[in-house]
Amino acid sequence: MVSACEVKTIINPGATKAELLEALRWQGEELEALYRAADECRRRHVGEEVYIRGILEYSNICAHNCAYCGIRAGNRKVRRYLMTEEEMVECAEKIARGPATTIVLQAGESQTLPDQALGRVIQAIKARTPLAVTVSAGVRSESVYRFWRQCGMDRYLIRFETSDPELYRRVHPDSTLEERLEAIAALKRAGVQTGSGFLIGLPGETIETVACNLLLARDLDLDMIGVGPFIPHPDTPLAGARNAWADDLSMFYRVLAILRLLCPFAHIPATTAFDAVFPNQGRDLALQRGANVFMTNHTPDRYRRDYLLYPGKPCADESDDACNACIRARLARLGRPVGKGPGHSLLHPPAAPEPKKEPRP
């Protein structure tokens, strides 16, 4: 039997693959001890505040054909859209009136919105709101990352999805794991706070894969790490595929808790997919098992239903006001305060932008 105190001696930033494999098999009282240790680690290293990130899905146009994603290029049932620059900035101003202190500009992997145009949007958001700006728009060149950084971008999110190159190739035919990891390295060279993470339960995933995913997330020295259950969209090649951990749903939280102990100072979100698997309590439990960030959706109603990466996506019908009220109520029930300020990286506090000059892509 393992106590919460003993958990921390087994799972810590220097844990080995063998130790992770042991913890990934814990059940019962050992698993509860893991959860307690992760919550204590979160409280000690990143505090009680929960930072709110407001997501704006500005386009569902994607050039890639990931085998599980609802907005994959080959899905002809999707009504495609691209928000205007003015719409994006107006939405940012609305987000700034709520509890969110960061806007996440998210889109499919496509250059339908030119790099210069997104740069203008970032500049306008920084000029007209106090929001920190995160972008999630796939692999770009280092020069583009530097350009967006000059425009005011604070962070970038690009998940590596899996540490297994062959498994990555099977479900992402348009890219490679190596390209993904090089993008992360380029972001770090450009001085951008960098977030990444992985899916839990891709078909063909083993417990060894999960351990390697955790070790890669640790070794990348990330500012934010997002994980969540694999949920395939019905209009994709992997429609109906079972999550590798369908018979052990506790694996999703086991991974989250271990991640907190491996990376005590990283921001870890309670991702929306937890609510899809565990309705009405998924993200609450995540916040009690290591997470300290909450993502809210602020995509306008007329577009939101067209950005369904997976079925059963929570909050697809909620207004901004309803979403803000819900998160405040959830945090109040947990006794957790809403984070104040931008919630920047605790590992790599933001450096000053490069010398002021006219940004160029």
Question: Over the stretch 94-146, which tens digit does the pLDDT of each residue have?
Answer: 999 999 999 999 999 998 999 999 999 999 999 999 999 999 999 999 999 99
d(CA 95, CA 98): 6
Inside any domain, residue 345: no
Nearest to 297 by CA among 154, 105, 86, 139: 105
d(CA 196, CA 199): 11
Question: Over the stretch 20-38, which tens digit does the pLDDT of each residue have?
Answer: 999 999 999 999 999 999 9
Inside any domain, residue 350: no
> What number is the average pLDDT over the span 56-74?
97
- Cite the beta strand spans of 31-118 per DSSP E: 51-59, 102-107
Question: Over the stretch 168-224, which tens digit does the pLDDT of each residue have?
Answer: 999 999 999 999 999 999 999 999 999 999 999 999 999 999 999 999 999 999 999
Inside any domain, residue 353: no
Give the DSSP H or E segment for 212: helix 207-219
User: Of all residues in the chain, what percent carry a pLDDT higher than 70?
Assistant: 96
Residue 52, beta-bridge partner list: 294
Number of domains in the chain: 1
Question: Is the pTM value of this prediction over 0.75?
Answer: yes
Inside any domain, residue 348: no
Inside any domain, residue 343: no
Residues with Cβ within 8 Å of 321's Cβ and at least 6 positions away in sequence, in order, are none
Inside any domain, residue 297: yes
What's residue 5's pLDDT? 72
Residue 56: CATH number of its domain: 3.20.20.70
Inside any domain, residue 33: yes
Q: Quick check: 360 pLDDT over 90?
A: no
Q: Which residue has the tokens 């808790």?
A: 257
Inside any domain, residue 136: yes
* Domain with 286 in it: 4-334
d(CA 340, CA 357): 31
- Binning the chain into helix, strand and coil, the percentages to the nearest 5 are 40, 15, 45
Residues with Cβ within 8 Å of 266's Cβ and at least 6 positions away in sequence, in order, are 222, 223, 224, 225, 259, 260, 346, 347
What's residue 321's pLDDT? 83
